[in-house]
Structures are given as structure tokens and as C-alpha cells.
């Protein structure tokens, strides 16, 4: 396996949003997901920040160590070296994780909401990779649910939005009701 790997913790968990080779379930300790917005993007996105605990995600290769395309996709984020553990066996692997710099991050607000189509895409990936327990883990280990969520399911604004089944939508809606109530 290549030395150039990333740890995806949001939409990169949904393999339908990318074609990076050798994606494998992994864990990242000492970080948590958080919803943030930055002046460099019109809506809120997921980021990570150092914190107790662990998050699930995918580790995948960056072919030839060519980070250009992934850096473009993750504009507004900085890349950080991390050590991940493969989910199934616990083997440690070096990777990079993308995080919005703290001095550029703010909570979601009315002008910068979280898109429901983005949440749907992320949760679909967690369901595919980790099952229902993985979807629950995503909601439980993500901070910043207090901001507004824009329901754009009928006309998705998220550029890599994926179509959910009625069962997947029901799972998203149930968990959202619990974290935003």
C-alpha cells in the first residue's frame, strides 16, 4: 500500500463520491467531527478537531501521492498527519486528515446552514461501510448539531449528493430528530 493515504470522516466515507483506491474502514483516535462554516464556503461542512474519543471513517490511497485533486475537493481545509487504525484488525497506518483551521471555523448559522443532502450522503456512506451502528456512531460523535439544517432533498445543493432509499432517509430523519430536538 502507498504511503499517501487520507482518512475520510464525512462524505469521503461514501464511496459513491470518489474513486480513490483501496478504501478500508478505519478509526481515528483523539479527534471528533464538528459542523463548521468558513468564509471560504457558502454552507457548513464537517471538519475535525482534536478531542477525546475516536471516530470511524475510511482510509484510502492517494495515487502516486498526487494530492492536487483531493486538495481541490477539500479547499478551505488544512491537511494534518495522523495515525489511524484499520477497523477490522487494528493495524496502524499513517494518513492525512483534512480540518478547517480553528481561526477560520465558526458554527453553522442562518447564512451558512448544514445541507440535508450533505448529511444524507455522509450517513449513506456510514450505513454502507459500518451498518446501522456506524450511522448511530456518526451522529453521536459529531458536534455542532445546534445550527440550522437546510432541507434541500428535493433539489440537492451538495455537489456530490446521492439518492437515498426510503429506509435510509428514515434512519437519517430519526437520528436528526434525536440530535436536534
SS3 state of residue 127: helix
DSSP 42: S
> What pTM value is reported for the model?
0.94
Contact status, residue 43 vs residue 114, Cβ threshold 8 Å: yes
Is a pLDDT exceeding 80 seen at residue 1? no
114: enclosing H helix or E strand: strand 114-115
pLDDT tens-digit readout, 104-131 = 899 999 999 999 999 999 999 999 999 9
Domain that residue 44 falls in: 5-180
Instruction: Provide the CATH number for the domain around residue 167.
Output: 3.10.490.10
pLDDT tens-digit readout, 155-164 = 999 999 999 9
- Work out how many domains the chain is built from and give that number: 1
pLDDT tens-digit readout, 14-61 = 999 998 999 999 999 999 999 999 888 889 999 999 999 999 999 999
Give the pLDDT band of residue 181 (cuts 50, 70, 90).
low
Pairing between β-strand 142-143 and β-strand 114-115 as defined by DSSP bridges: unpaired
Measured CA to CA, the distance from residue 79 to residue 72 in angstroms comes to: 12
Residue 28, C-alpha cell as written in the block: 481515528
pLDDT tens-digit readout, 79-90 = 999 999 998 788
Measured CA to CA, the distance from residue 74 to residue 72 in angstroms comes to: 5
Amino acid at each position: 500500500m502507498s504511503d499517501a493515504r487520507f482518512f475520510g470522516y464525512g462524505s469521503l466515507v461514501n464511496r459513491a463520491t470518489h474513486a480513490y483506491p483501496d478504501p478500508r474502514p478505519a478509526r481515528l483516535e483523539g479527534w471528533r467531527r464538528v459542523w463548521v462554516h468558513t468564509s471560504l464556503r457558502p454552507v457548513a461542512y464537517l471538519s475535525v478537531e482534536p478531542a477525546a474519543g475516536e471516530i470511524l471513517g475510511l482510509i484510502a490511497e492517494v495515487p502516486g501521492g498526487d494530492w492536487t485533486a483531493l486538495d481541490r475537493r477539500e479547499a478551505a481545509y488544512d491537511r494534518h498527519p495522523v495515525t489511524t487504525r484499520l477497523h477490522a484488525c487494528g493495524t496502524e497506518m499513517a494518513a492525512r486528515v483534512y480540518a478547517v483551521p480553528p481561526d477560520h471555523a465558526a458554527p453553522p448559522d442562518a447564512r451558512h446552514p448544514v445541507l440535508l443532502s450533505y448529511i444524507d450522503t455522509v450517513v449513506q456512506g456510514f450505513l454502507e461501510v459500518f451498518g446501522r451502528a456506524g450511522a448511530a456512531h456518526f451522529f453521536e460523535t459529531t458536534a455542532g448539531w445546534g445550527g440550522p439544517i437546510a432541507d434541500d432533498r428535493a433539489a440537492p445543493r451538495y455537489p456530490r449528493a446521492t439518492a437515498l432509499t426510503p429506509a435510509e432517509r428514515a434512519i437519517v430523519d430519526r437520528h436528526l430528530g434525536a440530535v436536534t430536538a
